[in-house]
Structure formats: C-alpha cells, structure tokens
Structure 1
C-alpha cells in the first residue's frame, strides 16, 4: 500500500517554508487542529519525515488522555536532551550511613551509597556513642528495652532500631522522613528472617556478613521524597524557571542542528505542560526550532485558552484541517487499493457518508474489503455493491473492526488501552500472560491497530485506544488496572517513585483502596514538588474519595488541596476545603490555624469584614498561648487592617507579631512582619519608619535565605526613595531587586522592577532613558506570556513617547495595549488605556473620539468601583471637552477629578490643578488661573518633574504678559 500523504499539499508547502526559515535561524510555532480522524497524525508524520530529510533532530511527545504525569508530554519529548530529568523538581532525603551492631555493641556491617560520607574520626566517635546506647538498652538478663531510639551527635541525627539479635543504626543529615523508621524495621525483619542463624553464630569477622551488608546497602540507597511546603510559593515564577530550563535544553540542541519539537494530542496536556509549551513558542523565533502541536478542537478549555493566547498575537500559526475534497479522497483510496475499477458512484457515496474524513473513509474501505465487498480479481480491485453494508459512524466502524480480531489480540488491545495510547510493551506482555505475546503484538502491528518500536507500543490512532477502553466493562477495567499496577510494583520494587503516577492512576481505578490512598498521596506530593498544583489536587482528591473513617488523613488532604487552591487564586474552593477540616479535626490549635487560612482567603478577595471575623475566632482559641499559630494570626490581622487602610490598628497587630516571632525564633515569619510593618509606614508616608523596618526585613530575609522576600523588601526601599525624590537611591535599589529576581529566575519580578526603573526616568522627565528599560521589560513579558505585565509596560512606553511629543507612535502603542486588555478582560488596565488615548486624541484634534473614550472609561471605573479610575476619567473627559470648547461641562469634570484625587491622595493632583488653571485662563479669570497654576507648580517641583515645571511656569508667565 502506498503511504504518500495526499490532499494536504498547501499544508506541506507551509511546513517546508517554516523548516527552511528555521534552518536560517528563524523558528516558528504551528498548531494543527481538527476533529478525530481528520488527518492530524498523518500530517505530523509527514512533517517528521520531511524534517529528518532536512537534517532536523526530531523530538516527539504525546499527551495521554489521563494526564497524570506533570509536564508529561514535554518530559517524554525532551528526555534525551539532559542527563538529569528536566521536570523532576522532587527533593529527597536519604541516610548518610547505615550500620548493624550486635547486642554486645560490635560492628557487624556498614553501608553508604556514596562511599564513606562521614569523616573517619566523626564515625569513630559516633560509633562509640551508639555502642554505649546499645549496651544501655539491654538489661543484665540480656533482654532488650525500648524500640526505636534517637541520638544526636553534633549535627548528625541517629536513628536506632533493635531486633532480636542486632541493632540497625541509620545516620541522616537534614530532615527526617516519616517512612524512614518503617524502612529500618523492614530491613531488620528481612535480615533476621533470612539470616538469623548466621547472626547467632557470628564470630566477629565483618567479612562473613556480605548478605547483611547487601541489605544495608539497599537501605542506604533508598530515597525518601520530601513534601514541599507550598505556602508563599510564587507558582508562576517557578513555572517560568522550569520553562527556562526546558528552553535552554532545546537551545543547546539547536546549536548542533535544527530541531522539530512535535507535541501530539495537546488537548489532553496538563496545564503545566501547556505553560512551558507557550514559553517555548514565544521564544523559539530566535533559534532554529519548529514547534508543532496537534490537537482536537473543543476538547479542553485549558487548551483553548492556550491556543487563543498564541494565535491572537501571531505567535503561532493555526492550521485548521478540514475533510478531503472528492479528488483527494479518491487519490487516497486509490493509493491503498491499486489498481482498481471502482465506479465513480463508489467514491461519491464514500465521500458523502464520511464527509471527507480520511480515517473514516480508509476504515470504511477496509471494512468493505473484510466484508467481501472489495475483492482482488485478476490483479485489480473491484467493488461489489450488493455485498456492501456500511456503518453510520467511524466509532461503529472501529468497534466492528475490533470485534473481528481474535480473543488473544482483543485481550492485548484491552490491556494496552488501560495503559494509554502509548505503553511499555514489556509491561503489556507481562500482564497479558500469553505464551507468545510477541507474536500477538506483531499481528496487531500488521493489522494497523498498533505500532511497536523497540520497547514502546502505540495505538495507530487515538480513537482505537479510546473506543477499546470505553467498550470494556467496569469489572474488567478494574481487573486490568489492578494487574498493571501489580506488574509495576514487581518491576519497580526498589524504586516505585519512578512509576508513582502510573501506580496512582491504575490503583485509583480499582477497589484496592489502601493502595489507592498510599500511591495517590505520594503522587500528589511528587506533583507538588514539581509545582504541578492542579495534578497534585487531583491525586489528593482521589485519595480523599477512598479515605473513609480516617479523619486525620482526610483533614491533611483537605488542607493540602486548600493550600494549593489558595496559591492558584481559587479562594472560594480553598475555603470549602478548609471548612471541611473544621468538621474533621478536634485539635483546637489546628482549628485556629484553619480559621486564619479562611480569613486569608477572604482578605485576598477584599472581603475584610469576613476576614476579620475568621481571625477573631482564631485568636480567641489561641489567645495568650504564645505559639506559632497565634503569631501567624496576628500577621494576618495586620495585613487585613493595612489593606483596609486602618494603619494604626495594623501597626498594633504587627508590633505584637514581631514580639511573638522574636520570642519563638520564627525568623522567616519575623521577616514577613517587618516587611508588612514597613509597608504600612510607606502607605502612611512615614518614610524613616518604613526604611527602618524594610532594612530589618532585609537582614532577616538574607539570613534565612528568603530571596523572593528579600527582592520585595529591597524593591520597597526603592519605592520609599522614589516617594522622597531620592531618585539615584531609588534606581540603585530597584536594580538590586532586579538582580535578586534574576538570580532566582523570577522573570515577572525582573520585568516589574524594570518598569519601576523606567517610572523613575519618566517621573524625572527622562523618557529617552525609560524607553530601553521598558523595551527590555516588554521583551521579557512577551516571552513568558505575561499579558497584564505587558499591557502595563506598554502603557508606560506610551507615556515615554508622549513626553517626547511623538503622539502617533504613542497612539499605536496604546492601541496595542488596549487590544491586549480587552481580549483578556483586564478592566482596570482598560481604564488607563481609554484615558491615555483620550488625552492623545484631544491633542491630535480628535476631541470627539477622546470624549467617547473618556465616557467609556468613566462607566467602566464606576462598574468596577475604582475611585482612582473615576478621577482620571473625569480629568481626561474635562480635557477633551475643554479642547472642543464645551467649557461648563469641562470645568465640572475637572473639579470632580481634583476632588476625587485629593480624597485618595492621587499623584496626579498637580495635573488636575494644571488643567483647571488652563480652564480659568481660557475663560479669562487670571486670579483663579494663577491660584491653580501655583498649586500645580508646587507639586511638579516637589516631584522634580522638570518638563511639567517648565510648562507650568510658562503658563504663569503668559498670565503676566
């Protein structure tokens, strides 16, 4: 059968052009979309062949329908580019040394993974301490006393567990894991069960104990996964850092040859994978890389957001595949059945029934051949219309085809479908338990249902896997998933973490609830460690579903999901999980902490009364106890009152927090409290006090290694300096903050701080210095897809060109910013765009358009309740009305703007005074004009704004002329 692709000549031409551009160093992104069976996979395969022929390195990944593995599609595609896994952010702890001692205190065997990790003198001293402990643990009759013991020797933690004839001592450096004690006990049990006689007859010679040493080596090599504390994690910054690492790996590969990165079935990709993919797409134009994604349409809201985000600004080209036309369908069928004497009506009916879907048409032709309606007679295929029975849908066709295969092949197909579209053929062979599974797999390969390459198998089309899986009864699904899970347990006995996501998925589809619980919790923890919050929540949710009766574990899982919802900004859902804990946990201190977290969620949604109410309940529980829970509740109250503008009360709570955290030694919490107190004083305008507390926060945050917090405190000192007009010091601190953010990979923080630097240049009348800084910020924001940050930077760039008098360029920049804001529902930022364009239109003789935008801005500001936006809208509407000669409405709007600005302390009060001065000058009242101009001048001089100062003085001098 011919395998030449037909009917996609235009798409093939586009691919060829994009690949030629990539060879020349200009990369691009293509997203192929279309319904199932429309030919996406065939087009991708053709692109891969063409790329290989042009010297490309082809990297491929396919998203499974159940995207359980974080960053799974990219992890598969990029696995060979680095020595260590790109997307495994998991932190582990292990034993530094493990050794066995008999009841007399003699060393029997010892082991460590990395050789002797302890200095010989330290080991000798520690061994003496352990031997004394062992001897003290036996009474004079030789019976053992306590079970697991713990010692501390310098910085080392020592865990000691006794059996009948020996002690195992394990030395760890750092955090202890809850499963370590069980691992030691299991090793003792194994040693005494297998080698009990050897232990009793041991003559003191360590060389006679290799079996014991081997078990100790296994114990020493065991890694215990640590649960990452996600509180205060900047998830977006972490994803950007992970994206950077993936992009750097691709960049290294591109230095040797152009790369085609193929990601299939991206509609099933996890959210983390799509964010990293977007990052790659936004950066690939700078190198020889073609990123090719394929997806079904309307399958996933997450994917649709990804697709729209890349296509609306031209980052990606979307190829929307439709069905074949009749000539293309005829060409495809003739390629598979050649030569033939099929009548034209055959092709016409086939086209009408399949609507040009190539997979449907091809499967229909195969069905007709199997049914005896297409036959090879005298070297040519003929069609017997009388024998033809045609199914109505492609699903029905594939189901019939699957029904026609042998029971052995169907068994393999069903088991494979439980593993996903792609699967490990060794696991498949082991689970199927057929004597000659290799022969059966080869038969499936020949049938076109599956393909096998090395140890990997894959359904030739996703529909084969989906339809097979959907046809299996719940009972047999559960059995297959259980068999696969048990097989993985056997194959990965010593390293279940390697397949933990698969174990969790398979056992969660069975009635083995204990394993479901254990593996889903561990999978959730590993997902958290990789900053895959959504998948962690899914695993924890499955664990809750089977965790009946164990209220402590349910409570822990609800809190973890609540915390993840919180950092994702899903505050309503976070509260639901926190509220569930209150009905599960009788621990009053825990309940207080949960009430605090509920209050924090309300605070983030600016419902301060409810936030204070929850914190009041929490503080009543822990009042006077002087513990960490009380200190954190005080911090929350301080933050709530600060955001509400009740600064005196905020200061009172935060001073109590500082006292409590100092006494408890909670250094990180102390740094947070000092920073918040500095922020309160900054809002109050008490700048020396603000500096005092920000500097304290800096010292503490540097000490505890809180670099993200350190960058924020340094940045806020820059804000203080900017407020006081110490521009050089402001720039110094902003640059320092940006350097810290760059060090930890927080690109959003870098871009935000660059915007602050540009604001200093704009405030001091130096737009030429602001422009390159803003362009650098814009480049970062485009690359990471930070649309809100991009809109804000464009707003500031518009201001720079406005100050230079380049109004046309300023209008173009603002128009782009407005387009971003409107498409992404950034209503607050839209107000700034409307007002900026209004002012520019007024200056460009387009006052009527300006008035329209100002009124639109005013309505939106009132809708979302922003006094700042309302004041700006009034001022720009007043300016536009003044330009068109509508004097009375102009004055009313300008006075409304000034009143609102004074009420909130807005930094454009001087501008409003200036405009009112221009109004009174225009109507001929020089006294009122001078008064407003003088007020404006004082403000401009205070802010060292040379350009506006000169304009104001010029207006005053014109009054005297």
Structure 2
C-alpha cells in the first residue's frame, strides 16, 4: 500500500511517459530499508503498460555479490512461454559453454551482449529497466548500469536504480555523479498525517490514541508500520468501536522492526519455516526448481508450505519464481540459523545443485559462504574439489573473485604434492591473474613449481610465470629457469616445444629479436609432425612480431595467415587470435593497404567485444584510431579515442589514444583541447617507463611548435633512442623541423635512415619519405613534389600536404620566376589542410607566404559551425540518417562496419551538436533541416 508518496510517484510516472515518447533518463531512488522504495517504483511501473512501455525488474542479493550480472540476467529474462535466445546465449556464455579460453573475461563479454540486448529490446518497445537493491549488486552490474546511464539519451529507456544509503561503495558513489540531482528520488520517513492514513488503511479504521502512539514509535517507516499492525491483528489486539476508531485491547507489541518480522514468522508452522530456511539460502528471489533440488522434495510436498508462506505475507510471486516479500524477512530467517548449521546447509545445497548439473554460478553461490566464514577450519569437501577442477576455467572467466576465494581454500585443504592439487594451484594462479593481482599469481605458480612434477601442469605454470614477468618487466630473471626446464627428464616433444615458445616470448619481451626468432623457429622444428595448436600458433606469432620489428612487413603477412589458420576456432587461443589480428591490421597499415587494415582491426574489435577482452578491444580501437589519423579521417579517429574508458586500457594505449587526439586538435588550432589530452596522457606516461609511444611523442613535439619553439620540438623527436622502431611520420617530422632551424647534420642523418628504409621497398609511403627527406636536404622542390605524389598514392593526406608545403617554400626561396610554381604548390597544400579542417596549418601557411610576398591565397571552405545539422561530420551525418530510419546502434554498427560502442559515441556527439535529448529529436531535426533546405 502506497501512502504519502504522491509527489514522488508523479515524478516517476512522468518519466515513464517521457521514455514512451523516446526521451530516456537514468534515475536513482534511495532511502533506508523498509522506507518504501520498491513499493514506490512498483506502483509507478504499474502504469508502464498503459504508457506503452515494457518493464524489466531485477534485484541485487548480498549472497550473490561475487557473481556477475545476475540482477540484469534476472531482469531481462523473457517470461513468455517461448525463451529468448539472446538472453540464453548470454547465460551460456557465462556458464562457460561458449568461448572460454584462458584469460577470457566472460563477465565483460556478457556485459557487452547485455548492453546490446537492452538496445534491441528498446528498439522493440520503450522500456523501464529497474535494478532493485543496487547496493548488493556486483561491480560488473554496476558498471553496466553506469554505461546505460550514460547512453539513456540514445534510447527510449527509463533506467532506475533502487538502493540503500549503506553500503556505499566507490562504484556506487560514482552513479550519483552520473545521475543529476533532478533525477534523484530520496525517500524520507512518512510525515504524521501519512502515518495515520497508512495505519487507518491497515487496521480498518481511524487509529485511537494508543495505536497512534505506537505508530509514532515506528518513526515513519512503512514496513515497520505494516509489520506492527499485522502483528497486533494476528494477536487479536485491535478492536474497532462504533465510531470506527481502532483501539488496542492491551497486549505486548513488537518494539522494533526485527521483532515485528520475527512475530510474523512465529505464526508459521515448523514445516513452513524449514522450507523457508532452505529458500533463504538461495537468496531473496529463488527458483522453485532449485528449492525442490536443495530440499530433495517433490513440488507436491513443498506446495503446502509455500502456500502457507504466501498467505502469511512472507513470499510473493516474482515472475515464474518466488521471492521474499522484503529482503529483511529473508535476512531474519537466514540469521536465525547458527553459523555452523548455515554452512552445512549451504554445502548440502551446493552438492545437490552440482549433482543436478545446475549452472556454475548457482553452485558457487552456495559454496562461497563456506570460505567467507570466520571459522577457517571449515574444509572444502572432496566433491567440491572435483567440481572446481571441472569448472575452474569458466568460473575464472565469469567470476574471478569468487574463483580466487574457492580455489584458495581448496589448495589450502589439499596436500601440495599431487597432480590434482598442482592443477588447482595452477588455476588459482590463473584466477589471481584474472583479477589483476599479477604478483600473487606469480608467487602461487612459483610455489607450485617447487612441488609439482607432472610436465603438463608444469608447462602451464611456466606459462603463467612468463605472462606475469612480461607484465612486470622482470623477464630476464626467469630465463635460466626456463632453459633448465628444457633439460628435465620425461619431456615429450610438445612439452619441449612449449618451453621453447616461452623462451622465445621472453626474449621478445626483452627486445632480443634475434634470440626470439631463433627459439620460435626451434619450437616449430621440435614439433615436427606433432600437432600442438598452442605451440604452433604462439611460435608463428613471435616470428610475425620479429618480422614487424625488422620492418619486413610483407614477410609478416604469410606468418599471420599461417598462425590464424592454426588457431582459428580454438576458444583456448582467443587471446592469441586477437593479438594476431591486431598486428595484422598494423602490418596492412604499414603496407598502405588501409582498407585491409581497417577490416582486420574491425574483425579484432568484434571478437574482442564478443569474448569480453577489454584489453584487446582497446588495442584494436587504438589501431583503428591511428589508421584513421594517417588516412585523414580525423573526426572518426577522435570518436575512437572515447570508445573505451581510460581506466580500462593499458597505459601505453591510453598514451597513444590521447596522442592521436592531441595531434588532431593541435592541427585544428584547438590548443586547449589538445593540451587536455596531453595532460591525461601525462597521468599514464609514468606507468609505461621508457616505452616508446609514437603518437604521444609527435603530439608533445607539436605542443612546442604551437609555442613557437621549433628547437624544443625537434629535441623531443631526437630524444627517441636510435634503436627504437620510429615510425616514418616521426622521421619525416624530424627532418622537417631540422630543416626549419637549419640543422643540416640532422637532416642528413634522417635522410640516410629514410633511404635505407626505402631501399628495395615498393611501399609507397616509404619511397615518398625518402624523396621527402632528400628534397629537404637538397632544397629540391621537384623532388618534394614527387614525394607529395608518393604520399597521394599512399593515401596519407597530412604527409602529402607537408611535402607540398615544403615544395612551395623551396620554390619561393628560389628564383622569382618560380613564384607561380610556389603559388600552385601553396594552393594545393592549403586545400589539403582545409579538407582536414587543419585550421592552424591553414593560418600558419598563409602567414608564411605573406612573408614571401605571395598574398593572394585561395579561398577555402572549412567547417566553422560547431552546432546544428551543418556541424555534423560525414560519418555523423550517415549515422544520423540511419537513426532517422529507426535503426538501433547495433544495427547501424552492422550497416557501417563499426563497433556499437563507436556508434554510441557518434550518436552522443550528434545529440550534443543538435542540442536535443533523444533519437526522436534527431528525426525531428532532420525533417526541419530538410524542409529548410528546400
């Protein structure tokens, strides 16, 4: 019963109608337990059907916090007779039946698919999505809620989070920064008139003085009031006089909410309480089928107890399942069991569910209380150890935090000298690696290596250590151990091959390319006719990387093809597949095969999103951004920078992405924006040590150029160690700046390097670079024009504009009769800069040529407007047109071969530029623009 909440209810109902009209919103409803948050939201959702909205409702659960996405999976399951294959696919992914290779983040993959599913459901009909008890939700659920909250303007979605003031984790606090004060509903205690109204409705008449006094003690908490009045009614302590006033007949009354709930439960039979205790183990909401399993009873045997509990107001229907009427009722039942009894019940429930082949997360949920208890003497039962061995990999992918807790206790309770425990330790190291605790993962693996003798397990442990050492920069120290491992007896060819691959990878981490080449080749030779996809794939990966570092780009391509033919379709090699595809994209780009490069990066991005590899997704996005920068598609490149949050990227990727953005903003004269990106990159650059990030180096050099300090700009570029694989763009900028300040020695050195790189090379931009550097050295405008033609063939417009600019300067500095040639080159260069919207370069070049007395520059068109339809970039215009057609973000992504995340970023930009709040508004603006255009 909802009393005293008319204002809050009106706001929620209005927001539901807004969602039905296409205007999405994210809302937080908070207040103390029992204050009526859920009742308020349910009352508002009752109006959703009439407004044309579908409603999805899920809830967090304290027991389920270590397991990801359960509230959203519960919310989005379809309750019709036919099952929704999209939701089932997500459940199967989390269960480990889909892609679940070592290192796969199944929760992240499922999160991406859930976000896509929400988009598709909103495409069917406007929607209200509620996550109740959000304070108990796992961090992945909160992260998905946060991402949806940031994109609600793109969807006809009312997103509601319902939570208590405590506990208030950092990720929950961040939601209050995303959701503005106008979209927050904070429920306080009921005022006195509302309290009396509620008591009158519950008691069946106007409360008398004594009942009113008792009601006042409930402090305006609706749940307490309800339980208090019901307790009095059950005890026959309420009497209505002839005037309709409800008086007390004098009996003990519960003086707290817990006592009132206990009074309700005390009226149940012991049989019903026993069934409810079992249900309390399963959570606030539970499946009747699971209850049948854990009680080892038939449904017919349970029905009387369930009917009694529903009649007593303890249980309510929740779709196809049941739920406790309020979480506090479930808590009271759960807490009344002694800890030892509760743990025993959980273990029995876990065993029953495992025997029934229940999903991994349901079994784990019952085992977790065993390892979280303060009584460390509670052992992991033998059946649970066997179960953990079978499900460790998908459990680590789905819920690494839960996997760490369970595997740690299992390893502790078993002897450390057998293969089973060695395998458990190996999986525990994987779990620590999955949660980002690299140091602990390495310690566990090294400790297990001292005890385990099984070669398969040892090679797996060596792999974990090599991965950890590669991340911490301590690879060299482990090489003697790996070399010694090769001498151990009992190794088969596949064991030796895998160890050789690990040695090759270690040399690669150390930058010892020749040794990496030698050991990877030896690994392939060791295998001979033996089939081992892991060893073959990784050996070819090392060889392809060696070819890239050596600049043998054409030679790397067949290695990629061979490797991908080996690893294709193997879930355990998903991460390797991603690395191969990303490096293939980079290689295509280096060969000026931009279409192939973007296609390879898009394939990597799609696989990374599908398998939840955020690290590889960010690398693929970064590769796309750099390709778009080189190709002159700068607006699209800027959109890629925003797709993955910085805190989820490798620090080097963050530096590269913000370097790309800073380069573009500097060229466009947007100095403040460029420096903001450099400031962000600076926060991460300390974490990458001496690692070379070309785009960031170029951006830092540009910053000094903007400050009219070419010497310092050059110093930034020449500070890159000569042994680094400096990109051709950086070499070209170094030669240009050196020529500008008259540093002929540096120009000559760069020219020699460029000439060596281009020797016997058919790659257009390499040949163009050699011509460009030679033209700068010799101040030869004809050679610089040839360089510009080469950059045209390479589809690199910025480099082409720089070559034309240099040619124009060379012509202008030559004889007077070359002024016509100077003007022509100048005009062509400024046209190219204008097409890129590089207004800093346009202004700089005009000023330079005024100094040469060439005053009549071309009149160029460039995008000056920053708001309205005309401010949209070509890509944004195409996406806006598809929005008008009614396509969802995933559908647009499929049509344009983009990532749904990228499309979402573009749609956000469109909404901001048009100054509108929904996709419907975009369509309205499109119609207005078309009408105005005639």
Change in Cα spacing, 1:633 to 1:20, as seen in structure 2 (3 Å) is same
Tell me how far apart the structure 1 counterparts of residues 720 and 250 of structure 2 sit (CA, whole Å).
84
Matches within 5 A, 1:405-416: 407-408=270-271, 410-416=273-279
Tell me how far apart the structure 2 counterparts of residues 334 and 785 of structure 1 sit (CA, whole Å).
54
Report the aligned-residue RMSD. Answer: 5.1
The offset of 1:463, in angstroms, is 1.4
Three-state SS of the structure 1 residue aligned to 2:87 is: coil
Matches within 5 A, 1:535-574: 535-541=402-408, 543-544=410-411, 547=414, 551-574=418-441
Change in Cα spacing, 1:412 to 1:667, as seen in structure 2 (3 Å) is closer
Tell me how far apart the structure 1 counterparts of residues 412 and 85 of structure 2 sit (CA, whole Å).
35
Three-state SS of the structure 2 residue aligned to 1:290 is: strand
Residue 464 of structure 2 corresponds to which residue in structure 1?
A: 597
Matches within 5 A, 1:172-191: none
Change in Cα spacing, 1:316 to 1:662, as seen in structure 2 (3 Å) is farther
Residue 448 of structure 2 corresponds to which residue in structure 1?
A: 581
Residue 12 of structure 2 corresponds to which residue in structure 1?
A: 15
Find out whether 1:64 has 2:64 as its counterpart: no
Find out whether 1:654 has 2:654 as its counterpart: no
The offset of 1:868, in angstroms, is 4.7
Tell me how far apart the structure 2 counterparts of residues 522 and 589 of structure 1 sit (CA, whole Å).
16
Tell me how far apart the structure 2 counterparts of residues 588 and 930 of structure 1 sit (CA, whole Å).
56
Tell me how far apart the structure 2 counterparts of residues 361 and 787 of structure 1 sit (CA, whole Å).
53
Tell me how far apart the structure 2 counterparts of residues 370 and 91 of structure 1 sit (CA, whole Å).
47
Provide Cα deviations, 1:702-727, integer angstroms capped at 9, x if missing partner. 5979776556445434423544xx42
Provide Cα deviations, 1:137-162, integer angstroms capped at 9, x if missing partner. xxxxxxxxxxxxxxxxxxxxxxxxxx
Residue 359 of structure 1 corresponds to which residue in structure 2?
A: 223
Matches within 5 A, 1:383-402: 391=255, 394-395=257-258, 398-399=261-262, 402=265
Tell me how far apart the structure 2 counterparts of residues 272 and 502 of structure 1 sit (CA, whole Å).
17
Residue 895 of structure 1 corresponds to which residue in structure 2?
A: 715
Provide Cα deviations, 1:349-401, integer angstroms capped at 9, x if missing partner. 977x666544345545656777899764445456779988774x644554565
Residue 87 of structure 2 corresponds to which residue in structure 1?
A: 86
Residue 49 of structure 2 corresponds to which residue in structure 1?
A: 52
Change in Cα spacing, 1:876 to 1:714, as seen in structure 2 (3 Å) is closer
Residue 73 of structure 1 corresponds to which residue in structure 2?
A: 71
Tell me if structure 2 keeps the 8 A contact 1:781–1:787: no
Residue 720 of structure 1 corresponds to which residue in structure 2?
A: 587
Three-state SS of the structure 1 residue aligned to 2:358 is: helix
Change in Cα spacing, 1:881 to 1:548, as seen in structure 2 (3 Å) is same
Tell me if structure 2 keeps the 8 A contact 1:589–1:621: no
Three-state SS of the structure 1 residue aligned to 2:46 is: helix
Matches within 5 A, 1:22-171: 22-67=19-64, 71-80=69-78, 82-84=83-85, 86-87=87-88
The offset of 1:736, in angstroms, is 3.9
The offset of 1:628, in angstroms, is 1.9
Three-state SS of the structure 2 residue aligned to 1:294 is: strand
Find out whether 1:292 has 2:290 as its counterpart: no
The offset of 1:533, in angstroms, is 4.0
Matches within 5 A, 1:484-523: 488=352, 496-498=356-358, 501-502=361-362, 505-506=365-366, 513-522=381-390
Change in Cα spacing, 1:14 to 1:89, as seen in structure 2 (3 Å) is closer
Tell me how far apart the structure 2 counterparts of residues 833 and 555 of structure 1 sit (CA, whole Å).
46
Provide Cα deviations, 1:423-461, integer angstroms capped at 9, x if missing partner. 345776866999996555444434433324697432111
Tell me how far apart the structure 2 counterparts of residues 483 and 626 of structure 1 sit (CA, whole Å).
43
Tell me if structure 2 keeps the 8 A contact 1:30–1:319: yes
Matches within 5 A, 1:779-928: 781=644, 796=660, 799-800=663-664, 802-803=666-667, 805=668, 807-808=669-670, 811=672, 832-833=678-679, 857=682, 861=685, 865-866=689-690, 868=692, 875=701, 878-879=704-705, 882=708, 891=711, 895=715, 898-900=718-720, 902=722, 904=724, 906-907=726-727, 908=730, 910-911=732-733, 914=736, 920=741
638-647 vs 31-40, which moves further: 31-40
Tell me if structure 1 keeps the 8 A contact 2:416–2:422: no
Change in Cα spacing, 1:541 to 1:566, as seen in structure 2 (3 Å) is same
Three-state SS of the structure 2 residue aligned to 1:36 is: coil
Tell me if structure 2 keeps the 8 A contact 1:34–1:296: yes
Tell me if structure 1 keeps the 8 A contact 2:61–2:133: yes
The offset of 1:520, in angstroms, is 4.8
Three-state SS of the structure 1 residue aligned to 2:55 is: strand
Tell me if structure 2 keeps the 8 A contact 1:450–1:458: yes
Find out whether 1:938 has 2:773 as its counterpart: yes
Residue 544 of structure 2 corresponds to which residue in structure 1?
A: 678
Residue 322 of structure 2 corresponds to which residue in structure 1?
A: 457
Provide Cα deviations, 1:659-702, integer angstroms capped at 9, x if missing partner. 22344332442232122222123223344543453344345445
Tell me if structure 1 keeps the 8 A contact 2:57–2:130: yes
Residue 338 of structure 2 corresponds to which residue in structure 1?
A: 473
Tell me if structure 1 keeps the 8 A contact 2:380–2:413: no
Instruction: State the TM-score, normalizing by the size of structure 1.
Output: 0.65
The offset of 1:658, in angstroms, is 2.4
Mark the runs of 5 or more structure 2 residues left unpaired by the alignment: 371-377, 753-768, 777-786, 815-851, 853-934
Tell me how far apart the structure 1 counterparts of residues 743 and 300 of structure 2 sit (CA, whole Å).
104
The offset of 1:553, in angstroms, is 2.4
Tell me if structure 2 keeps the 8 A contact 1:272–1:532: no
Instruction: State the TM-score, normalizing by the size of structure 2.
Output: 0.67
926-935 vs 313-322, which moves further: 926-935
Tell me how far apart the structure 1 counterparts of residues 225 and 110 of structure 2 sit (CA, whole Å).
43
The offset of 1:469, in angstroms, is 1.0
Three-state SS of the structure 2 residue aligned to 1:37 is: coil
Residue 771 of structure 1 corresponds to which residue in structure 2?
A: 635
The offset of 1:601, in angstroms, is 1.3
Tell me if structure 2 keeps the 8 A contact 1:562–1:578: yes
Give the greater-gyration-radius structure (CA).
1
Find out whether 1:418 has 2:281 as its counterpart: yes
Residue 445 of structure 1 corresponds to which residue in structure 2?
A: 310
Tell me if structure 1 keeps the 8 A contact 2:20–2:127: no
Tell me how far apart the structure 1 counterparts of residues 391 and 360 of structure 2 sit (CA, whole Å).
6
The offset of 1:462, in angstroms, is 0.9
Three-state SS of the structure 2 residue aligned to 1:305 is: helix
Provide Cα deviations, 1:151-182, integer angstroms capped at 9, x if missing partner. xxxxxxxxxxxxxxxxxxxxxxxxxxxxxxxx
Mark the runs of 5 or more structure 1 residues left unpaired by the alignment: 93-224, 819-829, 836-856, 884-889
Matches within 5 A, 1:240-251: 242-243=110-111, 245-246=113-114, 250=118
Tell me if structure 1 keeps the 8 A contact 2:578–2:608: no
- The structure 1 residue matched to 2:598, chosen from 734, 747, 766, is 734
Find out whether 1:666 has 2:666 as its counterpart: no
Residue 134 of structure 1 corresponds to which residue in structure 2?
A: none
Tell me how far apart the structure 2 counterparts of residues 423 and 927 of structure 1 sit (CA, whole Å).
77
Change in Cα spacing, 1:29 to 1:615, as seen in structure 2 (3 Å) is farther
Tell me how far apart the structure 1 counterparts of residues 316 and 509 of structure 2 sit (CA, whole Å).
60
Residue 510 of structure 2 corresponds to which residue in structure 1?
A: 644
Tell me how far apart the structure 2 counterparts of residues 754 and 419 of structure 1 sit (CA, whole Å).
41
Provide Cα deviations, 1:224-260, integer angstroms capped at 9, x if missing partner. x99889555543xx55654455456555655554333
Tell me if structure 1 keeps the 8 A contact 2:130–2:160: yes
Provide Cα deviations, 1:444-490, integer angstroms capped at 9, x if missing partner. 4344333246974321111121232122113443564466568x57x
The offset of 1:892, in angstroms, is 6.1
The offset of 1:266, in angstroms, is 3.6
Residue 174 of structure 2 corresponds to which residue in structure 1?
A: 308
Tell me if structure 1 keeps the 8 A contact 2:31–2:188: yes
The offset of 1:319, in angstroms, is 4.5
Find out whether 1:263 has 2:131 as its counterpart: yes
Residue 131 of structure 1 corresponds to which residue in structure 2?
A: none
Change in Cα spacing, 1:344 to 1:356, as seen in structure 2 (3 Å) is same
Three-state SS of the structure 2 residue aligned to 1:291 is: strand
